[in-house]
A and B are shown apart, each in its own frame.
Chain A
Amino acid sequence: METRDAPVSETYELRVQGHLDDCWSDWLGGLSVRRQEDGTTVLAGPLVDQAGLHGVITRIRDLGLPLLSVQRVGPHSEHR
């Protein structure tokens, strides 16, 4: 059940070059860290808005990680 008042966050997937350790998750907006076989990492999860997204992108920039793609994959829904 979704309530109207809850802030609607969107789920994003960001792909970066290289395998990132799990410990970066907190640093990167709490996104989950999924290492892919092709040597890239997908960071995925809900971000509250565009400002949140830009915050994560800035941190990726500051780590010198090549950013390969950014995708919005739809509204975030909580599964309990």
Chain B
Amino acid sequence: MVARPGLIQRLDRGAEGKLTLVAAPAGFGKTTLLAEWVEGAAAGERPAAWLSLDRGDNNLEVFWTYVVTALRAVHSEVGESALASLRASQTPPIEWLVTALINEIAAIGDARSAGSGPGLTLVLDDYHVIETEPVHSSLGFLVDHLPPQMHVVVATRSDPPLPLARLRGRGELSELRATDLRFTADEVAAFLNEVMGLGLSAADVAALERRTEGWIAGLQLAGLSMQGRDDAPGFVQAFAGDDRYVVDYLVEEVLQRQPPHVRRFLLRTSILDRLCGPLCDAVTGRDDGNKLLEALERGNLFVVPLDDKRRWFRYHHLFADALRVHAAEELSDDMAVMHRRASEWCERNGQPSEAIHHALAAGDFGRAAGLVELAGRAMLTARQDETLLGWLQALPDEEVRTRPVLSVYSALAVVSVDPQAAEERLRDAERLLDATAPVDGPPDTAAVEPVVDDDAGLRSAPGMIAIVRAYGAGAAGDLPGVVDHARRAWELLPEDDHLWRGGAGGLLGLAYWTSGDLEAAYRAFSDAWASLRRTGDPIQQISGAFVLADIRTAQGRLREAARLCEQALQRAAGQGGPMPPPAAELYVGLSDLCYEHGDLDRAARYLQKSKELSEHGGISEHRHRWHVAMARIKQARGDLDGALDLLDEAQRLYVRSPAPDVRPVAAVRTRLLVRQGRLAEALAWVRERGVSVDDELSYLREFEHITLARVLIARSRRDQAAGREAMTLLDRLRTAAEEGARAGSLIEILTLQALAQAAQGDLPRALGPLERALTLAEPEGYLRVFVDEGPPMRTLLRHAAARGIASSYTQHLLAAFDGSAQPGSSAAQAAAGLAEPLTAREVEILRLVATGMRNQQIADHLFISLATVKRHLANTYRKLGVGHRTEAVARANEQHLL
């Protein structure tokens, strides 16, 4: 090897930044250089985790599993939680995982030595094989947030889509490119004469440098061609005067100079991506694999060891490509035989993906189909659906259509995009399953003989067919269809098929939930999670608890809902490691429950905890829930403007999820508008959504219909007809809630009935529903459902108390009214003589301006958008009669508004 101290030094210097990019075509010695650097550096204080990528790593989970495993080989204390969540059946957002990893790396660096340069290097070799955008962006995220103890090196043939320009601009990127890597004249001489010992003249060295342009792979091949040759100058002359592609010219030279058995070995084993002695023996049908691999390594014939024990090797990429092309020409028909032997060896030695690859390359589709069938479940469990789909597409149609299990897999793969094609596959599968069942009577001669390799898959196939149909029904919006198929799947699936039973239970739960059958939904979800727990997945339990708590809340079983959240949090905490991000959802759930019980401070604290957790990863599906919960607290504290801002933000953040949207943010916002007396805007929502008192009622729209009732009650002060409409609607809603056993909804509906009657001046008729609401609410400790209704409810409760209805509970509620903040204008504002007083929100923002915060910081602090901050500031300036922020703060200070 030629020592390259200049380049090593550049790598050393580069390691002080974040990223080193080694970008050059094949054969420029990228891997060799980095291996030398890493070996030298490992002796010091900078151990390196080395990852050689291949095409199979084009999957987010696979990629990060390898990265974490490589890091752990160097620092065993990092990445434990990341690895655990990668193994879970539902991976958390990758940013969370990467953040957890970054924190752990930052921690080891702190514990060791502060400020002694990078403590850990991650080398990603052959990064050009990565073509998956999520992998690029997650690596970009890592580099952006890289702790100072760590450095990343990317070796690649093409520039990766990372924010290179930005890193370059900040001086955080160092680069080694082809011009830096190619051998200089001195290095060419050193290599040919010292390393290869060829004793060439200066003129011959110069001619070879010109011919290869310093391309190291070319020089290596040239050196090999000249070894043991008497007439080196003659070779150089012939080579230099030829225009052929360097590799073509030289590989032929090298191959010609090998003894026949080596030449045969090279050509036959060129089909292998990775070589080991026994695998080579299987392919060649000989027993000298280990000996030859050792000899090739000693002779520097382009084998690269892949492990320290010198068990696995691969050919140098360029050499392998050239060998394969030669092999295809010389061996032609034998190639299929070699691939088949390789496939059999890989199958016996637990390498199913490689076995499938070689079976497909051999054109042995029957064999490939059997292997795909056996690998299918593991691929789905590991969420490598795309790999499975790729294999299925590589198989001829008839191979899939004779196999019931593969027919189901291919139906599953296409059901969301092409339900009709999926249904055809399912019918194939059913016909084949009928044929596998023992039947009396004459055999059906027209039937295809079904082929089965995976017996467990066959037992699950009838249930899986039903699941695929349930997915199809779900995509078509056919709820009863989902219920039918999912229930059937649950019945058909074998007891021990936890994965698919979990899937069936989840589908069933969602369908029941959406249709409003909450008890059935609860049971289905509990069953599903019990199954999935047996697959050993901590994260499932948490998101499961969140949904179960939601359902219990709707059923009016607040205490049980709280217990579900608390138990799940305890379990998550008991597992050690950082809290997984779904725990942030549980804190929102707990906050909601504390809110209902009237403990606003605790509710706010839970939201704070939730926010801290979710900062480690965007759980975008539920971020809107956090804002809605915070808006309620603001509203209860009298800050209606602040609440409205948060709801606007919640609307912006809302992301559709498979869970039914039973409390649409727009309806929550409309309720707030009603409370603010902004009836015109509330009516605009009614028109826009097209909600009407004549609608057919469903659980999915219950919240909107109760909102409509609130709008109508507010109108009834001026419009008698609206009051009557509200009462009719509430009657129907009450019946529906009773039928669905939704006590949570029922309590709210009853309080509204009481308020509607009171608004009509009929106090005795108001007390009936109120009493029923109180009876239902007392055992569960409801409070805000009454207090949030404000003065009219307070009056009603006083009447109830006077008549001794639920007296101690009623007194408790009345006391809560006294503690509740009332939105009011500040006396100071009146004294300041402002024509239009500042709202509480405007004062809050102005206070933050006074602390020197920029608008964006204020927006982040208050969880609102930048545009909203600007709008509030513009209003403030107008009201204060000032032109900019410093003037506004000065003016407000003068008048003691802050």
Residues of chain A having any CB pair with chain B under 8 Å: 18-21, 23-24, 26-27, 35, 39, 41, 61-65
Contacts and interface: CB of A to CB of B under 8 A. Distances in A.
A18 B246 contact: yes
Given A18-B244, A64-B215, A64-B318, A23 B329 contact: yes
Most A CB contacts (10 A, CB to CB) among B26, B28, B215, B324 go to B26
Nearest to B24: A64
A77 to B, nearest CB: 29
A4 B246 CA distance: 44
Nearest to B322: A63
B245 A19 contact: yes
B243 A39 contact: yes
Contacts of A39: 243
A64 B26 contact: yes
Contacts of A27: 321, 324-325
B318 A63 contact: yes
B248 interface: yes
A20 B157 CA distance: 21
B247 A63 contact: yes
Contacts of A41: 245
Interface string B294-331: 00000000000000000000000110010011101100
B158 interface: yes
A19 B328 CA distance: 20
B17 interface: no
A64 B128 CA distance: 14
Nearest to A60: B25
Given A23-B326, A26-B328, A62 B245 contact: no
A9 B242 CA distance: 35
Task: Determine the main DSSP class of A at the interface with B.
Answer: loop
B217 interface: yes
A23 B325 contact: yes
Nearest 9 CB-CB pairs, A to B?
A39-B243, A18-B245, A64-B26, A19-B243, A64-B25, A19-B244, A21-B248, A64-B27, A20-B245
B673 to A, nearest CB: 52
B125 to A, nearest CB: 15
Contacts of A64: 25-28, 215, 217, 247, 318
B158 A61 contact: yes
Most B CB contacts (10 A, CB to CB) among A19, A39, A64 go to A64
Interface residues of B, number: 24
Given A19-B244, A61-B128, A62-B317, 12 more contacts: A18-B244, A18-B245, A21-B248, A23-B325, A24-B248, A27-B321, A41-B245, A61-B25, A62-B321, A63-B26, A63-B245, A63-B321
15 contacts: A18-B243, A18-B245, A20-B244, A21-B245, A23-B325, A23-B328, A23-B329, A26-B325, A41-B245, A61-B26, A61-B158, A62-B157, A62-B321, A63-B318, A64-B25
B245 A65 contact: yes
Given A61-B158, A63-B321, A20 B25 contact: no
A62 B244 contact: no
Contacts of A63: 26, 245, 247, 318, 321
Most B CB contacts (10 A, CB to CB) among A27, A39, A41, A63 go to A63
A20 B249 CA distance: 9
Contacts of A24: 248, 325
Nearest to A61: B157
Interface in B1-58: 25-28
Contact of A21 (B26, B244, B317): B244
A62 B325 contact: no
Contacts of A26: 325, 328
Nearest to B252: A21
Contacts of B27: 64
Contacts of A61: 25-26, 128, 157-158
Nearest to A20: B245
Contacts of A21: 244-245, 248, 325
B728 to A, nearest CB: 61
A39 B215 CA distance: 18
B329 A62 contact: no
B344 to A, nearest CB: 26
Nearest to A57: B158
Nearest to A18: B245
A24 B323 CA distance: 11
Nearest to A63: B321
A39 to B, nearest CB: 4
A24 to B, nearest CB: 6
Nearest to A28: B325
A61 B178 CA distance: 13
A74 to B, nearest CB: 28
A31 to B, nearest CB: 14
Interface string B508-525: 000000000000000000
A21 B128 CA distance: 26
Contacts of B329: 23
Contacts of B128: 61
Nearest to B328: A26
A65 B317 CA distance: 13
A41 B246 CA distance: 13
A62 B24 CA distance: 10
A64 B250 CA distance: 14
Nearest to B244: A19
Contacts of B247: 63-64
Contacts of B26: 61-64
Nearest to B131: A58
B302 to A, nearest CB: 14
A39 B244 CA distance: 8
A62 B129 CA distance: 11
A80 B587 CA distance: 72
Contacts of B242: 19
A62 to B, nearest CB: 6
Interface in B236-261: 242-248
Contacts of A23: 325-326, 328-329
B220 to A, nearest CB: 12
A39 B210 CA distance: 14
Nearest to B246: A18
A56 to B, nearest CB: 14
Nearest to A35: B243
Nearest to A22: B329
A41 to B, nearest CB: 8
A19 B318 CA distance: 16
Interface string B832-857: 00000000000000000000000000
B123 to A, nearest CB: 20
A49 to B, nearest CB: 16
Nearest to A38: B243
A26 B247 CA distance: 17
Nearest to B158: A61
B332 to A, nearest CB: 11
Nearest to A37: B243
A21 B28 CA distance: 22
Most B CB contacts (10 A, CB to CB) among A23, A35, A41, A62 go to A62
A65 B246 CA distance: 9
Contacts of A35: 243
Nearest to B215: A64
Contacts of B158: 61
B54 to A, nearest CB: 13
Nearest to A16: B245
Nearest to B26: A64
Contacts of B28: 64
A29 B225 CA distance: 30
A77 B28 CA distance: 40
Nearest to B216: A64
A74 B244 CA distance: 29
A27 B248 CA distance: 14
B253 to A, nearest CB: 13
A56 B246 CA distance: 19
B631 to A, nearest CB: 48
Contacts of A20: 244-245, 248
B357 to A, nearest CB: 17
Interface string B530-556: 000000000000000000000000000
